[in-house]
Structure 1
Amino acid sequence: MTNTLSNVELPRKHAVSERGFLAVSALLFIASAATTVAWCDAMPAMPAMPMAWMPMCGQTWWGFATSFTGMWTVMMVAMMLPSLLPMLRRYRVALHMAGKPDVDAPTALASAGYFAVWGVIGAMVFALEAAVAQLEMTWPVLARALPAASGAVVLAAGALQFSAWKARQLAGCRAAPALGSTAWRYGLHLGMRCAGSCASLTAILLVIGVMDLRAMAAVSVAITLERLAPAGDRVARCIGVVAIVAELLQLASAALP
């Protein structure tokens, strides 16, 4: 059903809307990617220094948290938009097939709902990272245990790629859109499904470093491939193998004299 909807030829009056949709999406991706690169260049030491997760002089915790959450959401737009775009395209076609005269406003609402989920996740990430930084500063001995803990997270994330739960979440991301709910609720539902599907890869990104552009690019490609490739489950398992093997090799290299 999804493929059938995706291949429907839209009437000419909707073709103009589709071109506008693609143009706005391209501009949004370019702007979010450029902002993310600038952010990473301005804060290169955040993954390595606990103090980087503390408010700067004159900045409140609320202001710092809001700033990080906003930038995290912008980063997620750059990372998730390539895999989200085909989903929104199918949603627009489904709306058209249902006889909806306006598909642009529901598309915008669905997108806002989707990235609102990632904004909430960004706030949770900030709280977690700030708490870890506080613990590191209070008990420096914990800093020596973090590499082992990070390795365990990567191995667990790689193993999660093989789970039935991962397969269900991924299937939810790839499913045909259901039009029984509002656009906002559809976006929220899709965002929660896709956040669950990306949980393991997001965990790997956090371990490697939120400000690492190479890690962002690799995770973005992995998410896009497993969500859009014909055999998404197989791609997810291959990504899990790569994550586990890479981490085992790193642990073996660190253990060598």
Structure 2
Amino acid sequence: MEGPAISSRGTRASSHAFLGVAALLFAASAVTTVVGCTTMSAMGGIPMPGGWSMSMTWMRMPDQSWSGTAAAFLGMWMAMMTAMMLPSLVPMLWRYRQALIGTSRTRLDGLTVLVGLAYFFIWSVFGALIFPLSAALAAFAMEHPTLARAMPIAAGVVVLIAGAMQFTVWKARHLACCRDVPKHGCSMPTNAIAAWRHGLRLGVHCSCSSAGLTAILLVIGVMNLTAMTVVTAAITAERLAPGGERVARGIGAVVIGAGMFLLVRAVGFG
């Protein structure tokens, strides 16, 4: 049976605890990401035909199995996604908590955790799909110089497509669903299944909304700290700023310009 609702003082304490845990989680994930990126950068890359370098992210070390390599990538991916998505997720979780009026503190904290776990579970699924596809493409490029030479052009095309996606109805719909979190005072189911489903739904919409920007990160360099920072800022802005759809289109215009630059540079280099 659910306990008594949180008092005013208890609400403040719960809110402070929530923000404190979120800050610690962000700090831990950010430090882990920076350390991982620095380590990967120190290892360098494999020079490839076409004037680019293959990241060691997709390579298996001599003393590693493929399962171990995949597990290491997934761990790094989740640390990176936690650092990148928390700035925009925390306000959504905050509003979710505000919607659960009349809920005991223990239950409120538990439901919030479930929403967050379900949200990042979706991102872990994406990471589990990305690694084998990217590793296979990297291995194929290593064996076929013609494909390797075409990769810089392909990267430019991917960035162009990602920019164009920012103007689509598909993007607008997922972004709207991602931004449409419960408002203060609304009625929300207060059970674990509903919380898990809410987190899954939020994760699906937000990952689909961020698909184009995430693709840019993958083709530019998944362990590139500068690219991560820029993509994080773009995702946070379009999710939280007033007029998110207009912000997304502005980002799309910038991305299209960047894609054209990459294409011109790739063609010129070739």
TM over 0.5: yes
Worse-superposed segment, 173-182 or 34-43? 173-182
Alignment-derived partner of residue 16 in structure 1 = 13
* Aligned-pair Cα RMSD in Å: 1.8
Corresponding letter in the other structure for 2:103: K
8 Å CA contact 2:57–2:73 kept in 1: the answer is no
Worse-superposed segment, 124-133 or 43-52? 43-52
Structure 1 residue runs of 5 or longer lacking an equivalent are: 1-9
Q: For residues 120 and 17 of structure 1, do their structure 2 counterparts lie closer, same or farther at Cα, with a shift above 3 Å needed?
A: same
Alignment-derived partner of residue 203 in structure 2 = 191
Question: Match of 2:153, SS?
Answer: helix
User: 1:174-207: per-residue Cα shift (whole Å, max 9, x none)?
Assistant: 1133834521111111001100000110011111
TM-score if structure 2 supplies the norm length?
A: 0.86
Corresponding letter in the other structure for 2:156: G
User: Structure 2 CA distance, aligned partners of 1:50 and 1:136?
Assistant: 12
Alignment-derived partner of residue 175 in structure 1 = 180
Corresponding letter in the other structure for 2:236: T
Q: Give runs of aligned pairs for residues 87-236 of structure 1, distance below 5 A.
A: 87-95=92-100, 97=101, 99-101=102-104, 102-177=107-182, 179-180=188-189, 182-236=194-248
Alignment-derived partner of residue 40 in structure 2 = 43
8 Å CA contact 1:50–1:134 kept in 2: the answer is no
Worse-superposed segment, 184-193 or 75-84? 184-193
User: Structure 2 CA distance, aligned partners of 1:18 and 1:200?
Assistant: 33
User: 1:209-257: per-residue Cα shift (whole Å, max 9, x none)?
Assistant: 0010000000000000000001100000000000111221343345558
Alignment-derived partner of residue 6 in structure 1 = none
TM-score if structure 1 supplies the norm length?
A: 0.91
* CA shift for structure 1 position 147: 0.9
User: 1:4-45: per-residue Cα shift (whole Å, max 9, x none)?
Assistant: xxxxxx822111000000001001001100000000011113
User: 1:84-112: per-residue Cα shift (whole Å, max 9, x none)?
Assistant: 010000110111x2x22121111111101
Q: For residues 61 and 90 of structure 1, do their structure 2 counterparts lie closer, same or farther at Cα, with a shift above 3 Å needed?
A: same
Identical counterparts, % of pairs: 54
Worse-superposed segment, 52-61 or 68-77? 52-61
Alignment-derived partner of residue 7 in structure 1 = none
Worse-superposed segment, 37-46 or 245-254? 245-254
8 Å CA contact 2:172–2:245 kept in 1: the answer is yes
Q: For residues 59 and 249 of structure 1, do their structure 2 counterparts lie closer, same or farther at Cα, with a shift above 3 Å needed?
A: closer
Alignment-derived partner of residue 3 in structure 1 = none
Question: Match of 2:111, SS?
Answer: helix
Corresponding letter in the other structure for 2:178: C
Q: Find runs of 4+ consecutive structure 1 residues off by over 6 angstroms.
A: none
Structure 2 residue runs of 5 or longer lacking an equivalent are: 1-6, 47-52
Q: For residues 143 and 256 of structure 1, do their structure 2 counterparts lie closer, same or farther at Cα, with a shift above 3 Å needed?
A: closer
Q: For residues 51 and 11 of structure 1, do their structure 2 counterparts lie closer, same or farther at Cα, with a shift above 3 Å needed?
A: closer
Question: Match of 1:108, SS?
Answer: helix
8 Å CA contact 1:46–1:53 kept in 2: the answer is no
Corresponding residue to 1:70 among 61, 75, 83: 75
